[in-house]
Structure 1
Amino acid sequence: MVSKDSVQPPSSTPSLAIEKEEDMVALKKQRMNKIEALQAAGFTPFAYRWNKTHSALQLQTTYEYLSPGEQDTRVEISFAGRVKSKRTFGKLIFLTLEDDTGNIQLYVEQQVMARDSFRCIKSLVDIGDIIGVQGWIKRTEKGELSIVAKDWQMLSKSLLPLPDKFHGITDVAKRYRLRHVDMIVHPSVRHILRKRASIVSAIRAFLERKQFVEVETPALHRIAGGADATPFVTYHEALDVKLTLRIATELFLKRCIVGGFERVYEIGRVFRNEGISTRHNPEFTSLELYEAYKDYEDMMLLTEQLIAWVAQQVCGTTEIDYMEEKIHLGAPFRRITMNELVKETLQVDILSYDEVTSAKSALEIQCKASENVKDWDSIDSLGKLLASCFEHYCEKLLVQPTFVLDYPIEISPLAKRHRKDPRLTERFELYIAGRELANAFSELNDPIEQRERLIRQLEESEHGDKELDEEFLVALEQGMPPTGGMGMGIDRLVMLLTNSSSIRQVIAFPLLKPE
């Protein structure tokens, strides 16, 4: 099922269109009056517990064999769920109850239920209420599996009505702002979040089979390191020190490798004080892993295996549909250097030039023909020019899984120099469906060169208040073995495997601009 931020639900699906304020106040008052009526009738409007014997899915599976008109009175059913619809026909009431596995119909007949209980369920139960019922199972003449109710209890009286089910979505942002209501009225939202949990579980199972150790590193950092991004700043009063929320987990995990662990990983929240888009949320979940005595070639193999494993476990196949494309997640993935990809796209071999001015001239001639010229005036090196061309012209073309290899050293301060070309690093990024999904290095373990690179990064960074992470550099001086490392965006992987076009769809409560 295609899942898009702007998707409109079927007309029978409740929307998040909220009634006028005065109507809402009146409805809430009516329901407050019903609470008093329930209490007068001996009901508790907000119960402590309910002994639920079956889920909706269990009932649908267990009693699949029942024919229309057939019932099974041998087992007493105790069920609980939210009322999603209610139809009254004199002495007969039909309700649809929903739990987190699906729906079941409730068949309420006056001659089966005590008169007072029937009267209360008829007049005091509303759509949105959570009720518990006891009875037996039957399949109606029309073929609908139903619980024949002999008794019921109010478990939680809903004071606010569910949105009008006859209108389409008028405000997409309202879905995310009232996410709990979105979950109630759109089961597909809960389905995506369940699938997210399965994806994370599959990642952990894969890494544990390979004997990786899960480590939890600090979320509060004195120095924001591991990426060039704007951090969120906070303050610790007892220590009288400014701290930041982490922008990456990388540097602490590498210190674990220095400390003697050979395989470590962390799945954790990362925070970057930057923009919001369909691809970016200021807080997101990343996987980072490090393995001693490996390099970026090993990380490519591991990344291929991990993605194929997770897709097979969660989707049942490595051939998935994403938007309008069929994506093939089985290994091997395509491998191509950044320079080769730019040359293939623009017919300009940037690294064949000795200086940046000549390369710019060649690019301008080539790009003018397509009327797609980028401004490169501020770029002062071949490496930065190569990276700019890749980002501007090539990223969006990478639909099938592609490892883009050998990034310029200017934009890769934590990666080892390429053993064949010192202008480049042993780094790759994995692109799928036009988006970066993973980033990996042969990790730089030379503390002298690492210090020089980080100093250069600070000098060129737009974030002028940063400083060197001396604790990390001192750890490198202790000696870190050759190491391969890989980071992956969990949210983007979930987007891919749930066919979701926006990162907000795969986060339970995405950050939103205040109303």
Structure 2
Amino acid sequence: MTDAQDTNLHDSPYSQESEHKALNDQMHRRLEERKLLEEEGVRPYPYGFDVTRHSRDIKENFLEETPETVSVAGRIMAVRKMGKASFFNIQDAKGRIQVYMKRDDVGQDAYRIFKLLDIGDIVGVKGFTFRTKTGEISIHAEEFMLLSKSLRPIPVAKEKEVDGQKVTYDAFSDKELRYRQRYVDLIVNPEVRNTFVKRSAIVTFMRTFFSEKGYLEVETPILQPVYGGAAARPFTTHHNALDMELYLRIANELYLKRLIVGGFDGVFEFAKDFRNEGIDRFHNPEFTQVELYVAYKDYYWMMELVEQLIYRANLAVNNSENTTFLDNEISLKPPFTRLSIADAIMQYCDRDISGKSESELRNIAKDLGLELDPKISSGKIIDEIFGEFVEPKLIQPTFIMDYPTEMSPLAKEHRSKEGVVERFELIVGGKELCNSFSELNDPVIQRNRLEEQAKLRLRGDDEAMVVDEDFLRALEYGMPPCAGLGIGIDRLVMLLCGEESIRDVIFFPHLKPE
């Protein structure tokens, strides 16, 4: 180990790492630079810096005739070090701006320190604004300060001309690497930030939309002794003090309904939910959804609310009635198409599923070329047929309504149709975006439904619901008529931002181990 590697790094991961592998050449050089900076009396990691302006604000408010004194901070992303003067670009939270530094202005000692800095280092600059001869709004540095020495080089894309065409190489473009190292992705691909800024704006809009209607934002348990509210496998953990199994919630529905029982007319929660299921571009085991429950309403009322919510959310973040998703131009202007699930299967598969037995449904699935697990029940068969042959074709917003009772044990029976419940899913861009019921509030029927689910679990359906005795007890005190809604925030952001994978709208998606 060289002295440069060892200096002042006894408590860092780099000294431990170096026992097992050599640092690459650039990291060796940066560690040597850190040592030289310390010898010059420079702290590589000081405590703070007074920032008065950001890059975008400076450019938007620049006045040629009135130079402005500013204090900015950011990461060095490009540098041209010359003899007595240098140019470098810094990137802050709002963009990039060029800095001009002259040795005679900052002093010989400070300029010598500047020459030890690298791309990736974070610096603070104080100076005045001006426009260069090439017309670029810049900052003329009068003081500068190192705020964080970057020991690991960041990937910087380069361009060169090949046969008259600009070719980019060394870009940080590998998708999996970008997901694993989102911090680097955000540095070198700053346009990625836009999606997450929009995500925040979408959530803020929805929260305001619900609150202005008088609904109360609440919090319910993430660790639950009995999981429920959806058909999914849970993650299981153990509570040592109570010596009991607990589950990460798969949905917050049953707790929010308890609050409706307790007398609130409308409650909602933005919730992290967890489902022990597969990972693909539409599924992540940890995801975000908002659930809303409003007393004295039904699923017809909720459809109109959803239309307005999504339409207005898109206007708020995109200033448009349309969005582009998976190369499809999608209109979000109400009203949306409404189809029962039976009518949708008839329309797209030319098969009538109404009133069919399990064996008849299996024959329909087989006729369509669908291979099924022999353990699944009628409801799952219908779900498989719909998911394979109908859902991908529903590009424009479509409410799929009136699901078979077995598929929806928490929904109220339909007021005029036998064998189905008052439930809808909104399908947009070929994927489910939200789910809603006229909520079942008859405790006797609800108990029967959950006991039927228990029988399905005995058949091998590990996603069937379990009997929650405390929830049933709450219903026995009386719950008013109620409409419930769950919206997948990640999928809504995908739709409104035009992103093709759920991993592109989650900062740190789950991945296989490196």
Query: What is the CA–CA distance in structure 2 between the aligned matches of 1:24 and 1:124, rounded to whole Å?
Result: 19
The Cα shift of 1:171 comes to 3.6
Query: What is the CA–CA distance in structure 1 between the aligned matches of 2:378 and 2:229, rounded to whole Å?
Result: 24
Aligned to 1:496: 495
Query: What is the CA–CA distance in structure 2 between the aligned matches of 1:416 and 1:156, rounded to whole Å?
Result: 59
Query: What is the CA–CA distance in structure 2 between the aligned matches of 1:507 and 1:376, rounded to whole Å?
Result: 32
Give the AA of the match of 1:296: Y
Aligned to 2:77: 84
Residues 282, 354 of structure 1: CA spacing in aligned structure 2 closer, same or farther, 3 A cutoff? closer
Aligned to 1:283: 286
Choose from 224, 236, 239 the match for 1:233.
236
Residues 482, 318 of structure 1: CA spacing in aligned structure 2 closer, same or farther, 3 A cutoff? same
Choose from 219, 224, 237 the match for 1:221.
224
Choose from 139, 145, 152 the match for 2:144.
152
Aligned to 1:190: 193
User: SS where residue 83 of structure 1 aligns?
Assistant: strand
Query: What is the CA–CA distance in structure 2 between the aligned matches of 1:382 and 1:280, rounded to whole Å?
Result: 24
Query: What is the CA–CA distance in structure 2 between the aligned matches of 1:509 and 1:341, rounded to whole Å?
Result: 36
The Cα shift of 1:407 comes to 0.5
Aligned to 1:108: 101
Alignment gaps of 5+ in structure 1: 1-20, 368-372
Residues 32, 298 of structure 1: CA spacing in aligned structure 2 closer, same or farther, 3 A cutoff? same
The Cα shift of 1:214 comes to 0.4
Cα-to-partner distance string for 1:318-354 (whole Å, 9 max, x where unaligned):
2112231111111111111111111111222221x66
Query: What is the CA–CA distance in structure 1 between the aligned matches of 2:356 and 2:56, rounded to whole Å?
Result: 67
Aligned to 2:309: 306
Query: What is the CA–CA distance in structure 2 between the aligned matches of 1:81 and 1:265, rounded to whole Å?
Result: 39
The Cα shift of 1:91 comes to 2.2
Query: What is the CA–CA distance in structure 2 between the aligned matches of 1:29 and 1:291, rounded to whole Å?
Result: 61
Query: What is the CA–CA distance in structure 2 between the aligned matches of 1:450 and 1:22, rounded to whole Å?
Result: 61
Query: Is contact 2:232-2:464 (8 Å) kept?
Result: no
User: SS where residue 57 of structure 2 aligns?
Assistant: helix
Query: What is the CA–CA distance in structure 1 between the aligned matches of 2:365 and 2:278, rounded to whole Å?
Result: 30
Query: Is contact 2:396-2:428 (8 Å) kept?
Result: yes
User: SS where residue 120 of structure 2 aligns?
Assistant: coil
Residue 323 (structure 1) aligned with residue 315 (structure 2): no
Query: What is the CA–CA distance in structure 2 between the aligned matches of 1:193 and 1:466, rounded to whole Å?
Result: 34
Choose from 417, 423, 426 the match for 2:419.
423
| Alignment coverage as a number of residue pairs | 481
User: SS where residue 174 of structure 1 aligns?
Assistant: helix
Give the AA of the match of 2:137: L
Query: What is the CA–CA distance in structure 2 between the aligned matches of 1:336 and 1:374, rounded to whole Å?
Result: 23
The Cα shift of 1:41 comes to 2.5
What are the equivalent positions in structure 2 for 1:103-142 lying under 5 Å apart? 103-121=96-114, 123-142=115-134
**TM-score (normalised: structure 2):** 0.89
Query: Is contact 1:83-1:95 (8 Å) kept?
Result: yes
Query: What is the CA–CA distance in structure 2 between the aligned matches of 1:184 and 1:362, rounded to whole Å?
Result: 52
Query: What is the CA–CA distance in structure 1 between the aligned matches of 2:251 and 2:403, rounded to whole Å?
Result: 20
The Cα shift of 1:33 comes to 2.0
Choose from 443, 448, 459 the match for 1:452.
448
Give the AA of the match of 1:109: K
Query: Is contact 2:87-2:101 (8 Å) kept?
Result: yes
Query: What is the CA–CA distance in structure 2 between the aligned matches of 1:89 and 1:224, rounded to whole Å?
Result: 65
What are the equivalent positions in structure 2 for 1:399-418 lying under 5 Å apart? 399-418=395-414
Residues 422, 464 of structure 1: CA spacing in aligned structure 2 closer, same or farther, 3 A cutoff? same
Give the AA of the match of 2:351: V
Cα-to-partner distance string for 1:230-272 (whole Å, 9 max, x where unaligned):
1111111111111011010000000000000010000010011
Residue 163 (structure 1) aligned with residue 150 (structure 2): no
Give the AA of the match of 1:444: L
Query: What is the CA–CA distance in structure 2 between the aligned matches of 1:359 and 1:155, rounded to whole Å?
Result: 67
Give the AA of the match of 1:103: R
The Cα shift of 1:286 comes to 0.8
Query: What is the CA–CA distance in structure 2 between the aligned matches of 1:344 and 1:444, rounded to whole Å?
Result: 29
User: SS where residue 112 of structure 1 aligns?
Assistant: helix
Query: What is the CA–CA distance in structure 2 between the aligned matches of 1:203 and 1:153, rounded to whole Å?
Result: 42
Alignment gaps of 5+ in structure 2: 1-19, 158-168
RMSD: 2.1
**Bigger relative CO (Cα 8 Å, ≥ 6 apart):** 1
Aligned to 1:483: 482
Residues 38, 361 of structure 1: CA spacing in aligned structure 2 closer, same or farther, 3 A cutoff? closer
Query: Is contact 1:206-1:309 (8 Å) kept?
Result: no
Query: What is the CA–CA distance in structure 2 between the aligned matches of 1:332 and 1:377, rounded to whole Å?
Result: 38
Aligned to 2:431: 435
Cα-to-partner distance string for 1:473-495 (whole Å, 9 max, x where unaligned):
00000000000000010000011
